[in-house]
Amino acid sequence: MQLRPLAVCAIIFFTAGLAISSFAGFREFIPGLLEGGLITIQITLGGAVVAIVMALLGAMAKMYGIGPIRWIAVAYIEVFRGTSALVQLFWLFFVLPHFGIVLDPMTVAIVALGLNIGAYGAEVIRGAVNSVPRGQWEASVALNMPRALSLRRIILPQAFVAMIPPWGNLFIELLKATALVSLITISDLTFRAQQMNQITFRTVEIFTIVLIVYLALSVLITVGMRTLETFAARGIARGR
């Protein structure tokens, strides 16, 4: 799907949301759901930052770290990829206090989801780095460039373009996973919807709005990542 159709889809979804919210049956739920939506966006953005940092550290440590550091990176990636995000949330929220570590729900949500997505992202980065032609490494060695400088100046900029599409998928998965944080008492979009539904039993109206909000946010992420991919590809082309 190209960028223009995605932009059109985003406009359609937001227009549909505004049209639906204009009906009396829907209007009363909009303020509360928007408040929950803002919390969902905050968790998504915070989790994305944690995921990017942990993915980069995990990938570099797994590929180039010394023995102990490499095994720590491998353990992190396998544990957080191989276990449920919900279990990870519960473990950080309910188990850590038994060891004297108490975190507020927002911190738990951002850290747990960020670590979970970061484990997948580490493999994305590793695959993108490995996809860079071997000749690029050989050229940097011929120029007597240290590995760190070669990664920063030559390898990672080329790998960046290749890793953007899968990272877009991961960010959408992160957005959808935020629905789990309602189970650790965070008043996100899903939590607010469940509360309203239990009080009013207006299931159709409430969850129709929630569906449109999640879908619109997903399309926005896709549009943003496609735009970033286009600019990154142009930058690489100019560099050549």
pTM of the model: 0.83
At 197 the pLDDT is: 85
At 216 the pLDDT is: 85
CA distances to 58, 59, 61, 92, 210 from 72, rounded to whole Å, are 9, 11, 8, 19, 39
CA 37/CA 214 separation, integer angstroms = 9
At 35 the pLDDT is: 87
**Domains, the chain, ranges and CATH?**
3-233 (1.10.3720.10)
At 2 the pLDDT is: 53
Contact 59, 125 (CB under 8 A): yes
* 78 CB burial (10 A radius; 0-12, 13-18, 19+): exposed
Cβ neighbors of 13 (< 8 A, separation 6 or more) are 212, 215, 216, 219
Cβ neighbors of 57 (< 8 A, separation 6 or more) are 73
Each of the 240 residues of the chain gets a pLDDT tens digit; together they read 455 665 556 566 556 555 555 554 556 677 778 888 899 999 999 999 999 999 999 999 998 888 899 999 999 999 999 999 999 999 999 999 999 899 999 999 999 999 999 999 999 999 888 888 777 777 777 777 777 777 877 778 888 888 899 999 999 999 999 999 999 988 888 888 888 888 888 887 788 888 888 988 998 899 888 888 888 777 655 545
Query: Nearest to residue 78, comparing CAs of 44, 51, 130, 118?
Result: 118
Max CA separation in the chain (angstroms): 70
